[in-house]
A and B are shown apart, each in its own frame.
Chain A
């Protein structure tokens, strides 16, 4: 159904008139021009499209916009504030925790969701939380190290 939907996007109010069955991924990328959130599978199998809705990581490729009405949405574009990278972004940068970079926004955003819930996760908790985010380049080992660093957890976890 086409209707007006309002939500908070990266801290700013947004109002859109859209078919409310459409998936958030496409609305973000093409209606709102936020292309940092990526398409990888369209079926909640890869995590490239991960965004935060009210502090929870969701797969925007299977999230209809009607479900986010009145909620807070955070995407990779909203992570750095006033030109300052978020500590998770800093850590990804320092560890070079990416190669092609295509999975990276989804990885960073999903890691952000983890740290919201658990400030100092162990290596095992990180692996469990990140397991449904796929990376074909094989950056996994650096991604885990980057998240550990961002969380200030001791290297190697508990």
Chain B
């Protein structure tokens, strides 16, 4: 049966006092077998211990497993379920190593009171970093339980023991049997993970299968709860007065009319002016009645002038990679091609807007938040309301999409401040305009490439400079003897003030979309200038076996027929690396030259991500990646001027929809020898280039700026 994990969480929570010390924690967590482990060697040191207040958890582990006397295995991790399926995939890892059924594994995720510290869920890190250690922990647990079984059954060693579904049996005498639950009943056993061999890939029974997702039933019945679905008794809903532009300041405001609505409360706290009511729509109505005058900010960039500004204002270039000598390359090169590639700001636009509910009871603040970073948010909240972190609990229910955009969680702080002032639970759910306004966009970026070849077309020189996107995967993977890769600025911190007119941040596969669009467009340009087939030209410069394999797999399945572009067929390809995963995509498009509309008809993507934990989950992520990637390729672009974000809803900001849907085919390369790497992001990185290359193949028009809107395509067609 499906167990209501929320209830379980609440039960455990009831046991746990605020602010537990290590010793208290060990006592409070109850009986059973506990395996504590760190998810990566650095994890333990990432807790910002210098912040006020002592972290409530021991710092030498950041996840643990409990095998309880109730036959349940519970895994407590600070990661969150954003839709990527990690709740299922992580449970599969545990089930396989422990030899228990998947159904008996519960995941408690993203709750700062119940789970040890974790830096956040992003960058396809969950399985890649977490997988091996989680498996190790489960294997350790199994080893401990086997030893206990041998003692219990009076057997000289564990050799003869077999385990199935959490029941240990002696192979020679099937009457000698005992369950995990029985072994740990009423006991308290603690182990810290040392080094334990994990199972060989060939012994997996749960990993590599595609069981029903653990969140499936709740999600198809509407029972899955998100932060905005939480309404503790007495909840007030807050709407907050927002400036019309970043940098605008409120000069005058009049709330008299708004306050006439029965039940409305207006609160001013520092720069925040909020309207609260028991019903969110009435709070919203009242907000609309506030008259306010804002002083506009200094005029600044808009979505056309931004690229020149970025080149001028970017911090100095930093070396990312260097091989051979550029001077030597310049000497040898007889054909030099220089190009510039641009991409616009792009929004995350998850369907769930930033939401949070904050409630203070007995000096303790509890916040349910849609966030990718519950633990950092706890610190932020503690500072904002002046509580110690021990007295702040962040609970992350299901999150309605993140894509990097829910790393920042301003809404949680707003809810907490208002809850403190009103003494009531306060819910803050952003509307779509707020979501666009405060989004941490994927940065607009510029890439400049200077390449050189000899008369035979061999690439000898590659000088690559990326501005403002970040260096992830900027490094060249084609074989080029003389090359240099440099990067200036990025999506993270450290940019000079004023570089961007609003916040920027990680966006699904940060940096990699920009870098792959530039590199793979450029390689295609070089191939077509030489009259060579784009696949053959790539293979001639690629020795990496995994990259060659994905390229060949994707093109084989597609039925790639060699021809130099533009062939008029509208086919294109692109390949990429993304944190250890190799991916190649082939696309076919149809271009309407009079409207400038592009229809993507078919996309075939091959991915090598090492071990596949859950093939269906991986395919889901690949399909989602490709579908989402059509947006930044063809339509998504944030319009702005003088600090105002002009896109406020899905009318002007178009995201992919059913009618855009191509035929999607996914290929998972079997590579069980290589540890699992990320699968949630790689295909999206190829979508800009693969569509650009297919458009070129269809029309001969080369687009060097994303998104490739009908207007840009028509302009490129006019230029011929």
A contact set with B: CB distance below 8 Å: 19, 22-23, 26, 29-31, 33-43, 45-46, 48, 75-77, 79-80, 85, 89, 92-93, 96, 98-105, 108, 126-128, 130-144
Contacts and interface: CB of A to CB of B under 8 A. Distances in A.
Given A26-B281, A99-B624, 11 more contacts: A30-B280, A38-B226, A39-B353, A39-B429, A40-B353, A40-B432, A46-B351, A99-B83, A100-B398, A102-B401, A134-B655
B503 to A, nearest CB: 19
Interface residues of B, number: 60
Contacts of B252: none
Interface string B648-672: 0111000111110100100000000
Given A39-B429, A102-B401, A130-B658, A26 B650 contact: no
Interface string B566-608: 0000000000000000000000000000000000000000000
B565 interface: no
B623 A134 contact: no
B349 interface: yes
B248 interface: no
A55 B180 CA distance: 52
Contacts of A35: 222, 225, 228-229
A16 to B, nearest CB: 12
B191 interface: no
A19 B278 CA distance: 13
20 contacts: A26-B281, A35-B222, A35-B229, A38-B400, A39-B228, A39-B429, A41-B650, A43-B650, A92-B220, A96-B216, A99-B84, A100-B350, A101-B398, A102-B226, A137-B83, A137-B628, A138-B625, A139-B624, A140-B661, A144-B661
A100 B215 CA distance: 9
Contacts of A45: 432, 649-651
B84 A43 contact: no
A98 B351 contact: no
A132 B398 CA distance: 24
Given A127-B661, A131-B658, A96 B623 contact: no
For the complex of A and B, the 5 pairs showing the least CB-CB separation, nearest first, are A36-B222, A100-B83, A102-B400, A138-B627, A138-B624
A138 B656 contact: yes
Of B217, B223, B402, B620, the most chain A CB neighbours within 10 A belong to B620
A23 B650 contact: no
B61 interface: no
B122 interface: no
B389 interface: no
Given A42-B431, A135-B351, A141-B661, A104 B219 contact: yes
Interface string B119-163: 000000000000000000000000000000000000000000000
A31 B625 CA distance: 37
Given A127-B659, A133-B658, A100 B432 contact: no
A21 B225 CA distance: 27
B403 interface: yes
A134 B351 contact: yes
Contact of A93 (B85, B220, B280, B281): B220
B185 interface: no
Contacts of B625: 138
A143 B85 CA distance: 17
Contacts, number: 169
Contacts of B59: none
A133 B432 CA distance: 15
A131 to B, nearest CB: 5
B399 interface: yes
B302 interface: no
Interface string B340-356: 00000000011111000
Given A46-B650, A98-B219, A136 B655 contact: yes
B213 A96 contact: yes
Contacts of B282: 19, 22
Contacts of B400: 38, 100-102
A119 B431 CA distance: 36
Given A127-B661, A138-B624, A140-B656, A108 B220 contact: yes
Interface in B354-402: 398-402
Contact of B401 (A22, A75, A100): A100
B351 A48 contact: yes
A76 B222 contact: yes
Contacts of B649: 41-43, 45
A6 B657 CA distance: 36
A125 to B, nearest CB: 11
Contacts of B84: 99
B212 interface: yes
Contacts of B31: none
A86 B137 CA distance: 40
Contacts of A43: 432, 649-651
A31 B350 CA distance: 26
Given A127-B658, A141-B623, A141-B661, A136 B228 contact: no
A100 B217 CA distance: 13
Contacts of B349: 136
A28 B509 CA distance: 37
Contacts of A92: 220
Contact of A36 (B223, B398, B617): B223
Contacts of A127: 658-659, 661
Contacts of B556: none
Contacts of A104: 219-220, 222
Contacts of B429: 39
Nearest to B628: A138
Contacts of A128: 659
A26 B627 contact: no
A142 B403 contact: no
A105 B218 CA distance: 10
Contacts of A144: 658, 661
B616 interface: yes
Interface in B610-627: 616-617, 620-621, 623-627
A102 B213 CA distance: 15
B214 to A, nearest CB: 11
